[in-house]
Each structure stands twice: as structure tokens, then as C-alpha cells.
Amino acid sequence: MVFEFFPYVAPLHAMNFKKLAKAGYFDSTTFHRVIPGFGCQGGDILSRDDNIYNDGTGGPGYTIQAEFGKRHVRGAVAAARAADQVNPEKRSNGSQFYICVEDQSFLDKAGYTVFGQVIKGLDVVDKIVQVKRNRQDRPLQDVVMKRVYVTDRSKLNLK
């Protein structure tokens, strides 16, 4: 799948994702949470290990200031974060993100940062959210991001 970032709306998030991707941070991590009708979540470095119980709890050790301005539409790429009770500033996890398979306007009101959009490969996202999962929405078989690349859009053959 191919993401387009929103550097004018969410510059900190876009820059952070690109930095982590170029460093190989996301390589071999999994989409550790999948929910049909909602989306899939990934970007947790801990999903590389064999302990499925720590998936969704990791990150690079920092959070990112909230940057609001884009809506949670189909294909939106947004930053995961801790709940308001422990995170009243709505700061984003430094690496975990989710992709919406349908519009999720309630998340706009809840204060989650959208920093990109899937511009190619939404069919892949649709397939990911349909995999069999356990009661905690973790896929029964790993859905792995083998390699994440950052490239200039002009180098892609997109229509």
C-alpha cells in the first residue's frame, strides 16, 4: 500500500513516520489489531517478538504533540494514543498508527491525529481487517509489514 502524508497539517507526525521508516523501525512489525468496519493498527516494535501479550504496548519512548485538521475518512492514516484519562493532552504514540477502512467521524471529535491517507492499496487494508482474530482483535496469524519504504511521489507510477 502507498501512503501520502499531510506535512502542512501534521508536520511532526509526517516527519516522525518518515524518520522511523527510513531507519527500518517498522520493518517486520505486525498489524497487531484488526477490526472489521474500523481498521487495522500497527507500528509497535514489540510486535516483532514472540510475546503476543505485549503487542500494542510499545513505542519508541516518546509521544508527539497532537495535530488536528484532517478527518477520519476511509483510508485515513492516523496516530494511536493512550486514553484521555492518562493522556489529557491527546499526545500520540511515537510509532503506532491505524488505517481506517470506513469513515470514523467519532475519532475526529475524540481528538486523534490524522497525518496521511492511503492512496494505493486500500484493497489490501480491506483484506487485513477480515483476517481471523482473537477476542482482543489480534490476528491469529501475523500480518507482517516486511519492509516500509519512503520515496518521493514523483518516483511512483500512480494514476
Q: Which of 48, 47, 46, 49 is nearest to 61 (CA)?
A: 46
Structural domain span for residue 91: 2-137
Say what the pLDDT of residue 39 is: 97
Residue whose cell numbers read 509489514: 145
Q: Determine, yes or no, domain membership for 6.
A: yes
Q: How many domains does the chain have?
A: 1
CATH of the domain at 49: 2.40.100.10
Q: Determine, yes or no, domain membership for 73.
A: yes
Write down the pTM of the prediction.
0.95
Residue 115 one-letter amino acid? F
Q: Tens of pLDDT along the chain (159 residues)?
A: 999 999 999 999 999 999 999 999 999 999 999 999 999 999 999 999 999 999 999 999 999 999 999 999 999 999 999 999 999 999 999 999 999 999 999 999 999 999 999 999 999 999 999 999 999 999 999 999 999 988 887 777 776
